[in-house]
């Protein structure tokens, strides 16, 4: 699985103009299931993200994790993270898992994050979503598991 995470002060996702998920301080997690991902990948990715020390401590150093700060996660599916731009000008997405498998692994990932005690809000798989955020730092990190 692949994720792009952004440390945020706040973030929201809208579908057809209605807010379907929003958080205050925490992480916006854009996530993509890749071809060949196995059932253990969502748990590995959730654990990695929850423990990643990218939040400021009292000395203003990035020493705290999402779990340490009681921050929230806004989880949004984004198959375009699988884009292959190596040829031509039109990205290819054949490295993304098929939609049915992608949705299943996305749902599993959301459950794994919530099971770690992290408050979660979510986007809608396959929907045309509008995501807004205030990137804190900015801190943006790419993760593959």
Closest to 7 (Cα-Cα) out of 62, 78, 44: 62
pLDDT tens per residue, range 58-89: 999 999 999 999 999 999 999 999 999 999 99
The per-type count for the chain, helices as H runs and strands as E runs, is: 3, 8
Residue found under tokens 């804190």 = 136
Using DSSP, state whether 47 is helix, strand or coil. Answer: helix
Specify the fold of 2-144: 3.50.80
- 1 band by pLDDT with thresholds 50, 70 and 90: very high
Give domain limits for the chain: 2-144
**Reported pTM:** 0.96
Three-state secondary-structure class, residue 52: coil
pLDDT at residue 31, rounded to an integer: 98
% of the chain beyond a pLDDT of 70: 100
Q: Which residues are catalytic?
A: 78-80
Tell me what the pLDDT averaged over the chain comes to: 97
């Amino acid at each position: 699985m692949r994720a792009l995470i952004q440390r945020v002060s706040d973030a929201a996702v809208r579908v057809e103009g209605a807010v379907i998920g929003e958080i205050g301080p925490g992480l916006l997690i854009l996530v993509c299931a890749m071809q060949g991902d196995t059932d253990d990948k969502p748990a590995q990715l959730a654990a990695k993200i929850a423990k990643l020390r990218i939040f400021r401590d009292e000395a203003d150093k990035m020493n705290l994790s999402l779990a340490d700060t009681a921050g929230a996660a806004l989880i949004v599916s984004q198959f375009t993270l699988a884009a292959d731009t190596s040829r031509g000008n039109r990205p290819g997405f054949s490295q993304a898992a098929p939609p049915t498998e992608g949705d299943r692994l996305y749902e599993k990932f959301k459950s794994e994050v919530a099971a770690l005690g992290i408050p979660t809000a979510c986007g809608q798989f396959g929907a045309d979503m509008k995501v807004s955020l205030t990137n804190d730092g900015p801190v943006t990190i790419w993760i593959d598991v």
